[in-house]
Structure 1
Amino acid sequence: MAATLYEQHHRMDWGLPRFSPALMTAVQDYMVQTPIPSYYQQYPRGQTWQGIFRDRLLD
């Protein structure tokens, strides 16, 4: 959760969240080992709604 909050602050340009130095170090180490994918990588753009309805109407 701390890594996600850190990533959100970074992406929204809000500055760094107020974590203790030990937690900030742990979060930064975690982020190096496990990058958080972007929204579009997590939810790739699939078929549009128009295509879905068209395909169902043609069935």
Structure 2
Amino acid sequence: TTNGWERTPFHISRNELEVANERRDAWTLFRLYDFAREPRAFELRPPLEAHVELVATSFQARFY
């Protein structure tokens, strides 16, 4: 959900991506945008890489 426009970047977890890929027939991302002014929505179905560019924005640091 965003108050921005439909192409505003959003965050998605590794777990959400894994579930989307494992359950493609049952998984849908429902994107709400322009929420404060005139709420609108659309759906994205897996594979998400067909619709968006996935960019790593954080990393988990593990000890050796």
Do Structure 1 and Structure 2 share a fold, with TM-score over 0.5? Answer: no
Structure number having the greater strand percentage: 2
How high is the TM-score relative to the length of structure 1?
Answer: 0.26
Structure number having the greater helix percentage: 1
How high is the TM-score relative to the length of structure 2?
Answer: 0.25
**Which protein is bigger by CA-based radius of gyration?**
1
